[in-house]
Amino acid sequence: MPKIIVGRDSEDVEKHGLDGTGLLGKHLVGEKEEAHMANPVYIDLARPHVMGIFGKRGTGKSYSMGTIAEELHDSEISDNLSTIIIDSMGVYWSMERPNERAAGILEDWGFKPESYDANIYIPAGKESEFSKKDIPYTDTFTINPGELSSEEWCMALQIDRNSDMGVLLDRTITKLKETADENYRVRHIRKGIEKFDFNNSTVRGLDNRLKNADEWGVFGKESSLEGLTDRGEMSIIDMSVFGEMSAGWSVRALVVGLLCKRILRERMDARRIEEIDEMQGLQKNEMPITWMLIDEAHQFLPSDGKTPATDPLLQWVKVGREPGVSLVLATQQPAKLHPNALSQCDLVLSHRLTAKQDMESLSEIMQTYMRKGIKQYIDGLPDEPGTGIVLDDNSERIFPLKTRPRKSWHAGGTPDAFND
């Protein structure tokens, strides 16, 4: 049976076949209730990609992201890859459990339930909260406050840079970087703001925000984010604990922004070494190609406004192909995702969408090779979770498909009040 590979050019298909791919699902032939599954649809995992996963609530968006993570982990090239899942809602910890409830469906696809050895990282200052709730985790992470610019601090603290508090913060950070490089803590910033001639209400207001920031539980003496890119590893950054904070999304974006900057810098350095090795006839992967999968991506990379993650993520989008970083952006609202990120998606998996603005934003991406409108393609799908369309910019083709069932447990399903 002919196999469909999205995201891979003809040269790589001829040279590598299915090596370095993952099973995404099966091609759907026909429309609505008459549709039936046909050829397998594979996704290229060996090359860097920017992928969008879209769909309204309950159509399989987060589920599909977990499927891609499973395929990255199971791939025969997994030793040359590392996978990082940004888990804003706390639903991916369940990948450590096999999907026994779908055992029958998995058998039909030739699979069986499977658990994944995922490393779950939580903020160092939130260990007690996770322990009280018996939420599993592997280790903690911290970030060094000295690595943040004054602009990043303002965004994280939700302060206007041009306000008195913003100016005071900028002067304090600038002074600390001159005198202490990056070797300072939040307490040093709090002390530093008292050395400038600003009115008392400005100083006290900024001090209160910095005090709150110290309670986020993410700051430490050193940044421990570098351990998240080990070969063959799946790392889940669980930041669901920030959900109840007014600045919760800003804190999450702060972590993602620093992580992106660090990984891109390391991959750029590694790529230079790999190029030198290649010139000398050596084939060596200096550092694994990193895939970062982000749920609720519009919160980190919004169409309007800016977060601490905006610029680092846009760097990944624009230059990531050369150093070797891949980005998967999942959201219910593609219209609220930054237009530069949307336009650079070479792969799109869209489940059902209904909002007009979301349909329009998706149509703008790959309208040149569509025989009909996005709405017609989506309306032709069977009305069931897991169905969608794949838009492949590489082959300039669109494939309706049914995504494969998850091998691991999916904790992001909709709860109900029925007793089974």
pLDDT recorded at residue 405 = 96
Q: Which one-letter amino acid corresponds to residue 227?
A: G
User: At residue 154, does pLDDT exceed 70?
Assistant: yes
Report the percentage of the chain scoring pLDDT > 90. 69
Assess contact for 229 and 287: CB atoms under 8 A: yes
Element (H, E) at 104: helix 103-108
Higher pLDDT, 282 or 360: 360
**Which domains does the chain carry?**
4-143+219-403 (3.40.50.300), 145-214 (no CATH)
**For helices 150-157 and 248-279, angle between their N-to-C axes, nearest 10 degrees:** 140
Q: What is the mean pLDDT of residues 161-185?
A: 94
Structure-token pair, residue 316: 């990944």
User: At residue 330, does pLDDT exceed 50?
Assistant: yes
Confidence of residue 420 (pLDDT cuts 50, 70, 90): very low
Q: What is the mean pLDDT of residues 176-188?
A: 92
Assign 39 to helix, strand or coil.
strand
How far apart CA 269 and CA 265 sit, in angstroms, is 6
User: At residue 84, does pLDDT exceed 60?
Assistant: yes
User: At residue 419, does pLDDT exceed 80?
Assistant: no
The H helix count followed by the E strand count for the chain is 13, 13
Q: What is the pLDDT of residues 214-252, one digit of tens each?
A: 999 999 888 887 778 888 999 999 999 998 777 889 999
User: At residue 183, does pLDDT exceed 80?
Assistant: yes
What 8-state DSSP symbol labels residue 94?
A: G
Residue with tokens 């601490």: 308
Structure-token pair, residue 387: 């169905």
Assess contact for 164 and 199: CB atoms under 8 A: yes
User: At residue 399, does pLDDT exceed 90?
Assistant: yes
How far apart CA 405 and CA 37 sit, in angstroms, is 13
pLDDT recorded at residue 93 = 92
Closest alpha carbon to 147 in 156, 139, 137: 156
Structure-token pair, residue 106: 């998995």
Higher pLDDT, 120 or 33: 120
How far apart CA 135 and CA 120 sit, in angstroms, is 10
How far apart CA 342 and CA 63 sit, in angstroms, is 21
Phi, psi of 84 (to 5 degrees): -125, 125
Phi, psi of 189 (to 5 degrees): -65, -45
Assess contact for 171 and 192: CB atoms under 8 A: no
What 8-state DSSP symbol labels residue 290?
A: E
How far apart CA 386 and CA 405 sit, in angstroms, is 8
Q: What is the mean pLDDT of residues 337-364?
A: 91
Sign of the CA dihedral with 55 first, then 263, 211, and 194 last = negative
How far apart CA 38 and CA 106 sit, in angstroms, is 17
How far apart CA 402 and CA 387 sit, in angstroms, is 4
Assign 232 to helix, strand or coil.
coil
pLDDT recorded at residue 418 = 46
Structure-token pair, residue 325: 């970083």
Q: Cα–Cα distances in Å, from 238 out to 81, 223, 365? A: 20, 16, 31
Structure-token pair, residue 252: 């999450």
Q: Cα–Cα distances in Å, from 324 out to 69, 145, 329? A: 17, 27, 17
Report the percentage of the chain scoring pLDDT > 70. 93
Q: What is the mean pLDDT of residues 334-358?
A: 93
How far apart CA 72 and CA 333 sit, in angstroms, is 25
How far apart CA 6 and CA 398 sit, in angstroms, is 10
Judge if pTM exceeds 0.85: yes
Of 45-49, 242-246, 288-292, the least confident: 242-246
Q: What is the mean pLDDT of the chain?
A: 90
